[in-house]
């Protein structure tokens, strides 16, 4: 599924994968979230409910540009730097253009919606 992220007024394109967790996130769209920094690696925010993680891998190795869901805390994560191997982290998708990754580092507010 193609999605559009509006990051502090800048629109960027991304794609969600076919996982159950990504499909569950898609059901919440459009959604606007306040972001905060986590470990100078990712921006995180909390959707209005926990997402379905059935069939998710036990762990993931996030890369800059990944959109992910951290099941234990119930937060979305947008990685602007490569992250460490992380149990219970589900990769949901990826930004389409690597040049947009720099926008994530300072993101205060994000809106995610389906792209046509």
CATH number of the domain within which 26 lies:
2.40.100.20
Find the domain containing 72 and state its range. 2-114
The number of distinct structural domains making up the chain is 1
Residues 77-96 have pLDDT tens digits of 999 999 999 999 999 999 99
Contacts of 79 (CB under 8 A, 6+ apart): 41, 42, 62, 63, 64, 65, 66, 67, 68, 104
Whether this model's pTM surpasses 0.75: yes
The mean pLDDT value for 44-50 works out to 97
Residues 99-110 have pLDDT tens digits of 999 999 999 999
- Is the pLDDT reported for residue 116 higher than 90? no
The mean pLDDT value for 23-52 works out to 97
């Amino acid at each position: 599924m193609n999605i559009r992220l509006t990051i502090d007024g800048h629109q960027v394109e991304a794609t969600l994968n076919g996982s159950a967790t990504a499909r569950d996130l898609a059901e919440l769209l459009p959604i606007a979230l306040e972001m905060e920094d986590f470990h100078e690696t990712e921006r995180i925010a909390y959707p209005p409910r926990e997402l379905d993680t059935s069939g998710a891998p036990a762990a993931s190795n996030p890369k800059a540009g990944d959109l992910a869901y951290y099941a234990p805390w119930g937060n979305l994560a947008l990685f602007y730097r490569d992250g460490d191997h992380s149990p219970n982290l589900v990769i949901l998708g990826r930004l389409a253009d690597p040049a947009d990754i720099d926008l994530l580092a300072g993101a205060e507010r994000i809106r995610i919606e389906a792209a046509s």
